[in-house]
Amino acid sequence: MERDFVGRGPHNPLERWPNGALVAVNVVINVEEGAEAAWPDGEGNDAWGEYGIPIDPAVRDLGTEGHFEFGSRVGIWRLVRLVERFDVPVTFGVCARALERNPPFAAWLRASGHDVLGHGYRWAEVTAMSEDEERADLEHAMRVLPGLVGRPVRGWYVRSFPSERTRRLAAAHPDLVYDSDAVNDELPWWTEVDGRRWLVVPYSKVHNDTRYFLAPTYATPRHFAETLIGAADFLLDEARHGAGARLMTVGLHPRWSGQAARAAAVRDFLAHVAGEPEIALVHRDQIVDWWTDLAAGGVGSD
């Protein structure tokens, strides 16, 4: 996989999004709870709970298991209520095993108009897998997810960061058309994988609630809200001054942003951007369709 330090340089392929917005904001809610490593599944303990206290691998970590359960029992519904309150389209990045274990949420998602981004069958580091293991996890998820959500799943991204083979394995699947494992840009870009034209819609590890736990951390949820609001305002100002249409991705997790105080940051951000006429809240499938149509017209074709 070759590195690209140039991208589009100073050029932006479009002035506004097809719906007239200067800034498109895509909120991605990561549904991972129940797909993480846990003792009942014979997989040991996971490390992404609410605290960093080291637990002997020979001892079951009931504390971390409880934090994940909070996300699926309480946190996801708090975020759902915010999504419904502000009537915003979002993307749910779903681990298939997590959805299997939460039938009420699976039923809500199936009945909703929100799009779904494949996030693995298990929530596990693909860089620790063999190629056969990573392929099997992808294929298992892509067998299960469309039936659970009642519609096609067209995009893929993995836990943390991809392996060197992740994009190749995703592009080999006939139902997938894009991945979101890149963090090297804000706008989508095209590449070629084994002769197939492939779209990359970048994700963000910065506009992401993982920053509550990764230094420098947010001392309060207000700092997260200020970060997101500041980014959206800057992108809008940038676009108004000729930089072209912008895309902002926000990553949320039910076990973290579903906590009451942290949910306030999500509420304040949604209230801010939902009231700005030149900012559009969109889902990822919409971005994919727009960029594909633009490329067909010779715009944004890279």
Q: What is the CATH number of the domain that holds 173?
A: 3.20.20.370
For residue 107, the model assigns a pLDDT of: 98
pLDDT at 300 over 80: no
Whether 218 is covered by a domain: the verdict is yes
How far is 125 from 93, CA to CA, in rounded Å?
16
pLDDT(50) > 90: no
**Tens digit of each residue's pLDDT (9 = 90 or more) over 244-283:** 999 999 999 999 999 999 999 999 999 999 989 999 999 9
| 136, part of any domain | yes
Contact at 8 Å (CB) between 224 and 209?
yes
How would residue 152 be classed by pLDDT, with cut points 50, 70 and 90?
A: very high
Number of domains in the chain: 1
pLDDT in tens, 87-110: 999 999 999 999 999 999 999 999
CA 146 to chain centre: 18
Handedness of CA 118, 121, 126, 130 (dihedral sign): negative
For residue 215, pLDDT beyond 90? no
Q: Counting Cβ atoms within 10 Å, is residue 174 exposed (0-12), middle (13-18) or buried (19+)?
A: exposed
Residue 75 belongs to some domain of the structure: yes
* 6 lies in some domain: no
In a domain, 167, yes or no: yes
Q: Does any domain span residue 163? A: yes
Q: Is the pLDDT of residue 298 over 80?
A: no
Domain that holds residue 82: 23-296
Q: Does residue 171 belong to any structural domain of this protein?
A: yes
